[in-house]
Structures are given as structure tokens and as C-alpha cells.
Structure 1
Amino acid sequence: MNKTLFERLGGRNGISKIVDDTVENHMNNPAVNARFMPFKEKPEQLAIIKSHTVDFFSAGSGGPNDYKGKDMVTAHTGMNISHAEYMHVMDDIVMALDKNNIDEDSKKDVLSILWSLKGMMIGK
């Protein structure tokens, strides 16, 4: 029997680790860290963002829970994310997947999901 992407990413705990590592990568990436560094001073708000991200990706990868947060357009409206920033964010996510020893097929599945969301975030 084939495992869901959720299972291949290590379930909710695995996705939480990937999100933590991704946010750390964003904070260290000079191309996007200006968007993330202010959250170092707001740990409660950062925890909420991380939790929503885990919920979103858990639901979207075949996990058992529904996502109840904002849709991607609403969540990113006013941010005016550039194509270059989006590509840097994707690179940061791939680095987090590598750090967590995610297999190549699962990484491709994650990238496919991220690519499908691009139009909902860029330039909004």
C-alpha cells in the first residue's frame, strides 16, 4: 500500500520539524529574511504562523485534519511577493526537506504543491 505524502513527511511531527527548519532558513536567507526577522521579536505570532503552516501542509498532504486558516490569496494579499522571493522560499524549503532526509519522490511532490500555489501568492 502506498503511503500518503503526509506519512512520507513524517506525519504532523515531521512536518513541524520541516516548518521549523524552513523558517530558520528564511531567517538566514538575505533574499527573504527582511520578511521574517521581525517575528523574532514576536515569538507568539511566529508560533501561530508556524502552526497554521503545519496545519495547511498536513491537510494538503493527506493528513487527517482539515485546514481552517486563511486561504493563500487572503493570507498573502498586501505582501507583494516577487517571483525571485518565491523561488528563494522554495529553495529554503528544499534545504529543510534535505535536512530531514526526505526522499526525492516526496520532495518532488512537495515542489509540485508549492508550484501550484505560486499564483496565489506572487504579486498579491
Structure 2
Amino acid sequence: MREDQVETKTLYERLGGIDGITSLVDDIVENHMTNPAVNARFLPLKEHPAHFAEVRQHLINFLAAGSGGPQEYKGKDMLASHKGMNISQGEYMHVIDDIMKALGKNKVDEPTQKDVLAIAYSLKKDIVGV
């Protein structure tokens, strides 16, 4: 293959498609549940298994659709889903760290990790302090 014919994969493909994203979401959620800086926001989900399953599926669909996959995300946008939560800058950074840890665990390559990080930072204004 010539240099000008380099195959380009979507972010969805680089994250491993739906199976990779599902694994990634499960690891991110587990990281949040065990992170003392943010787990108070996530542990209550375990008390409501049906709601937890719904939130998990929303996260999977959000990441899949947002990364170029065929899945459709029908949940709230970032601003609406975080409104009234008053998430601090510190909590946001812990969540970012949890995401990066999950990407590493899932052996996502560095360029893809940087792409995910850039997307996460682009959403910050709709998450922190709203």
C-alpha cells in the first residue's frame, strides 16, 4: 500500500467496535465505582439494577455513536444529563483519569487515547459546574 493510500479507521473501529466499547464502558464504570473521589455519584446506581443497566447502555450507545459506529444514541445531551449536578473541576479530572486508565487496560493505542481525551475535554463545558 502506498503512503497516500493509508487505510484510515474510524474511532469506533480503533476502539474495537461495539465489543471493545462495551468492555471499555464496563471498565470505566468500575473505575468510577472504586474511585473514592467520585464513587458517591456512581455507587447509588448499584441499588437500582434496572436503572444501572439503562445508564450503562446509554454510555455504550453514546460512545459508539459518537465514535462513528452505527448505534443510535437516544439519551440526553451532555448538558442536560449533568445539569444540576454541580460537578467540580477535581471530580471531572478524576473521571478523565478513570477513562484513561480503562483505555490503557484495554490496550487502546496512544493516538486513539489522545483522540478520546480531546473529545472528553471538548465536553467539559457541558459537564463541570452546570
Q: The TM-score by the shorter chain falls in which range? A: over 0.9
1:40 equivalenced with 2:46 (yes/no): yes
Q: Which runs of 5+ in 2 are unaligned?
A: 1-6
- Structure 1 outlier segments of 4+, above 4 Å: none
The superposition leaves residues 15-69 of structure 1 with CA deviations (integer Å, 9 ceiling, x where unpaired) of: 0110000010001100000001111111211111111111111111111133221
Could you tell me how far apart the structure 2 residues matched to 1:43 and 1:104 are? 34
Question: For residue 68 of structure 1, what is the aligned residue in structure 2?
Answer: 74
Number of equivalenced pairs: 124
Give the greater-gyration-radius structure (CA).
Answer: 2
Question: For residue 4 of structure 2, what is the aligned residue in structure 1?
Answer: none
Structure 2 residue identity aligned to 1:81: I
Could you tell me how far apart the structure 2 residues matched to 1:20 and 1:72 are? 19
1:11 to 5, 13, 17: 17
Identity of aligned residues (%): 60
Query: Normalising by the residue count of structure 1, what TM-score does the alignment of the two structures yield?
Result: 0.97
Question: For residue 27 of structure 2, what is the aligned residue in structure 1?
Answer: 21
Question: For residue 89 of structure 1, what is the aligned residue in structure 2?
Answer: 95
Superposed CA RMSD: 0.8
Q: C-alpha displacement at 1:117, in angstroms?
A: 0.3
Could you tell me how far apart the structure 1 residues matched to 2:50 and 2:72 are? 23
Equivalent position SS for 2:8 = coil
